[in-house]
């Protein structure tokens, strides 16, 4: 299934049904009177965060969604039937914006959370409600109220504990494939990964964490170069960053590569750069990468950074790196979530 992490849609709640104007007229009934029923409420548009949904694809090809209108009131004190609510499932981690006010309407970060983004209109009262001693045959009824209409923008931000960052061909996909059941595309050319990959990493029998492989960045990514900010946003919810650096061609300056990567993160969001991080040299099964690791370990140590080494191919350093990530995750504070303007409920 194609990975879509942004979508814009129109949603319209159902209109309320109008009340009825009707009078009781039956044979052998000496006294009649108003008996027009009430109109019913229109259906609302409700979003639910569902962990079984992983993309916003359905909204890309169907941009307009309409809930059912309420029925009008009937004769003989019969009220109309309420319109069915329109319930739409979105991936966990979806942020909902109002396109006109640019407000954050909801941040659906937990499975089962629901939010009413468009409320159905109230039904009108029938004429049976307006009878009085001085007006026993009212010929008036209320019209139904219109339902809410909104233009929404969905933005999916992956909810992962660990986010892997690195320039193209840094070995991110190979690493996540080695420590989880994720099956990313792996090849020896840049930008092999075009969408984020998620994998559950098992630490021991009692602990595991969710890891996201973010597509490769290049200098200028925060300004839109390469895959740009489209995928940098997916590290906003991660609590720990794993920086993978390695030798590229004949360039062994791992420190410069790390600094360039951190520069892009800071330009995108300075608060992300302050989060807990683990730094590792990948592909140390290759002689150049191993030599660079030994050379730059003391230089990273001068900055207070432990430079680890890992080879996803041979397995060297993999378990040690997983334990280091787990330790960093245990100590990391929770990520601050966005403030919603609509009430978000958890159905579970």
* Predicted confidence (pLDDT) per residue in 194-228, tens digit: 466 778 888 988 888 888 887 655 555 444 444 44
Question: What end-to-end distance do the CA atoms of the chain give, in Å?
Answer: 28
Q: Mean pLDDT in each 10-residue stretch from start to end of the chain (348 residues)?
A: 80 96 77 87 96 88 95 90 96 92 92 95 93 86 95 88 83 85 50 62 87 67 48 78 85 87 84 90 92 94 94 92 94 82 75
pTM: 0.75
Residue 307: its H or E element? strand 307-309
Confidence (pLDDT) at 186: 44
The answer for residues whose C-beta is within 8 angstroms of residue 131's C-beta and 6 or more apart is 33, 34, 137, 138
**Domains recognised in the chain with CATH numbers:** 6-156 (2.70.210.12), 162-331 (3.40.50.300)
CA 342: distance to chain centroid?
Answer: 16
Measure the CA–CA gap between 264 and 259, rounded to whole angstroms: 9
Confidence (pLDDT) at 230: 59
Confidence (pLDDT) at 339: 79
The answer for residues whose C-beta is within 8 angstroms of residue 95's C-beta and 6 or more apart is 104, 106, 107, 108, 154, 155, 156, 157, 338
Count the neighbouring beta carbons within 10 Å of the beta carbon of residue 312: 24
Confidence (pLDDT) at 68: 97
Confidence (pLDDT) at 237: 81
Confidence (pLDDT) at 217: 59
Confidence (pLDDT) at 43: 97
């Amino acid at each position: 299934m194609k990975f879509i992490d942004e979508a814009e849609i129109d949603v319209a709640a159902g209109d309320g049904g109008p009340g009825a104007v009707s009078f009781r007229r039956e044979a052998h009934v000496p006294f009649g009177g108003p008996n027009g029923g009430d109109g019913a409420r229109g259906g609302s548009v409700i979003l639910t965060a569902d962990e079984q949904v992983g993309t916003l694809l359905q909204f890309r090809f169907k941009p307009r969604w309409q809930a059912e209108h309420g029925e009008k009131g009937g004769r003989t004190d019969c009220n109309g039937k309420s319109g069915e609510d329109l319930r739409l499932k979105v991936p966990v981690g979806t942020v909902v914006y109002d396109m006109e006010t640019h407000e954050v309407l909801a941040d659906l970060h937990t499975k089962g959370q629901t939010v009413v983004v468009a409320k159905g209109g109230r039904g009108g009262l029938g004429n049976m409600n307006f009878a009085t001693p001085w007006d026993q045959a009212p010929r008036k009824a209320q019209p139904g109220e219109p339902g809410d209409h909104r233009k929404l923008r969905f933005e999916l931000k992956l909810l992962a504990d660990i986010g892997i960052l690195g320039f193209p061909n840094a070995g991110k996909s190979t690493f996540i494939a080695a420590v989880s059941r994720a099956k990313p595309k792996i090849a020896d050319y840049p930008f092999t990964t075009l969408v984020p990959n998620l994998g559950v990493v098992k630490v021991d029998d009692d602990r595991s964490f969710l890891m996201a492989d973010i597509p490769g960045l290049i200098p200028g990514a925060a300004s839109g170069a390469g895959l740009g900010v489209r995928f940098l946003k997916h590290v906003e919810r991660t609590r720990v960053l794993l920086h993978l650096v390695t030798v590229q061609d004949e360039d062994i300056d791992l420190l410069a590569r790390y600094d360039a990567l951190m520069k892009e993160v800071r330009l995108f969001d300075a608060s992300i750069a302050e989060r807990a991080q683990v730094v590792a040299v990948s592909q140390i099964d290759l002689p150049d990468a191993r030599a660079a690791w030994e050379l730059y370990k003391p230089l990273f140590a001068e900055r207070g950074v432990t430079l680890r080494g890992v080879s996803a191919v041979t397995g060297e350093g993999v378990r040690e790196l997983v334990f280091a990530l787990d330790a960093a995750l245990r100590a990391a504070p929770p990520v601050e979530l966005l403030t919603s303007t609509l009430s978000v409920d958890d159905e579970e």
